[in-house]
Amino acid sequence: MKAQPAPDETARIVVLGRQGSGKGTQAARLAAIYGVAHVSTGDAFRAAAGSGSELGRTLKSYMDRGELVPDDVVVGVIREHLFGPDAPAGFILDGFPRNVGQAEALAEMAGKRGLDIVVDLEADTQEVLHRMAGRRVCTKCGANYNVVDNPTKVSGQCDACSGPLAQRDDDTEDAIRRRLEIYETTTAPLIDWYRDRGLLAAVDAMGDVATVTARVVAAVEGVRQAKTIG
- Give the shortest CB-223-to-ligand AMP separation in angstroms: 23
Give the 3-state secondary structure percentages of the chain, helix then strand then coil, rounded to 5.
Answer: 50, 15, 35
- DSSP state, 148? T
* 91 near ligand AMP, judged by CB under 6 A: no
Contact criterion met (CB below 8 Å) for 121 and 202: no
Work out which of 179, 200, 201, 212 binds ligand AMP, going by CB under 6 A: 179
Nearer to ligand AMP, 81 or 224 (CB): 81
Give the integer Cα–Cα distance in Å for 113 and 228: 15
What does each C-alpha distance from 10 to 64, 115, 134, 162 come to in angstroms? Answer: 34, 10, 34, 31
Strand partners, 93: 14, 39
To ligand AMP, the closest distance from the beta carbon of 7 in angstroms equals: 25
Q: Note whether 136 and 167 are within 8 A (CB).
A: yes
Instruction: Check 179, 197, 215, 227 and give the catalytic one.
Output: 179
Nearer to ligand AMP, 24 or 90 (CB): 24
Shortest spacing between CB 153 and ligand AMP, in angstroms: 24
18: annotated active-site residue: no
Binding ligand AMP (rule: CB under 6 A), the pick from 31, 49, 68, 93 is 68
Number of neighbouring beta carbons within 10 Å of residue 71:
15
> Does the active-site annotation cover 224?
no
- The catalytic position among 18, 60, 98, 131 is 98
Nearer to ligand AMP by Cβ, of 11 and 43: the residue is 43
Active site residue 177: no
Alpha carbon distance 201, 148 (integer Å): 28
Which residues inside 45-64 make contact with ligand AMP, applying CB under 6 A? 45, 62-63
CB 26 within 8 Å of CB 213: yes
Binding flag, residue 165, ligand AMP (CB under 6 A): no
On whether the CB atoms of residues 102 and 189 are closer than 8 A, the answer is: no
Residue with smaller CB distance to ligand AMP, 99 or 152:
99
Supply the residues annotated as catalytic.
23, 98, 135, 168, 179
Residues engaged in binding ligand AMP (CB under 6 A): 19, 41-42, 45, 62-63, 66-69, 74, 95-96, 98, 102, 170, 179
